[in-house]
Amino acid sequence: MAKKITQKTITSNVFNISEISKEEDFVACTTEIDDEGNCYHSGLLICFEGELRYFHYTGRTVELTDNLPTNLYFKKIDLIEEELICSFLWHCEKLSTEANPKYGFIFDGSYYDSNGDYYLKNSNYDITTCVGFCLKVLTGFLKNPYLETNDWDITSLESLGDKKNKYLIHLYKLAITEGISPEEIFNKDKLKRILPSEMFSTSFFTKMPIRKVDTDEILNFIEIHFLTFAA
């Protein structure tokens, strides 16, 4: 039986970027938090041979950078073993020159393959969020779905509150601009939102695909932990 994840487990495994040790190679899930202690952006951190690289999708561009924000927190991903970190960094380096997603709350099961002639697999268009970008990167490298995104549905968009209609209008305009059928874009099975705090929660699990029931079990712990860092 897997050991139960507690608030203490989370506290002892989540670190600010200022607390990092570069003595071992690793890949980590990251989140940036705002002044109120809310997770608002997801990314991946790679430590290889004492060097740190931050890989994320800003909503406009894909960045692989050594510029690390001070509000960045991380938790190591145990699914990627130390001897594979060099390969994972190469995967990210290649994708940083090829991937060019557009922003939108679409989760369609697509992923990124750094070994193929064309990087995007399982979809004809690349529309995603910062969370979806991380999932595509991880799924493509691990060659198995990292997270069962079908556990989320269209009701998860309600977390956008008053901004929901704004983002739906954005998606419609994006479909027209990109020559994609609006009916395809607005497929209710693909429209959803996975929170950065939910993405961060996945780093505590090793059985793929990680399920929403898993992340739900510790999500409150994660969010409470980050609230303690409110400015």
Nearest Cα residue to 121 out of 143, 104, 103, 102: 143
Assess whether pLDDT exceeds 80 at residue 1: no
Query: Which residues are within 8 A (CB) of 174 and not within 5 positions of it... i.e. 6 or more apart?
Result: 102, 104, 127, 180, 185
Q: State how far the Cα of 198 lies from the Cα of 225, in Å rounded to an integer.
A: 13
For the segment 36-47, the average pLDDT, to the nearest whole number, is: 98
The whole-number pLDDT of residue 221 equals 95
Q: DSSP label at 60?
A: S
For residue 54, give the 3-state DSSP assignment. strand
Residue ranges per structural domain of the chain: 7-227
pLDDT tens sequence across 58-82 = 999 999 999 999 999 999 999 999 9
What are the contacts of 166-171 at 24+ separation with CB within 8 A? 167/104, 167/105, 170/103, 170/104, 171/104, 171/105, 171/106, 171/127
E strand or H helix that includes residue 32: strand 26-33
- Supply the mean pLDDT for the chain: 95
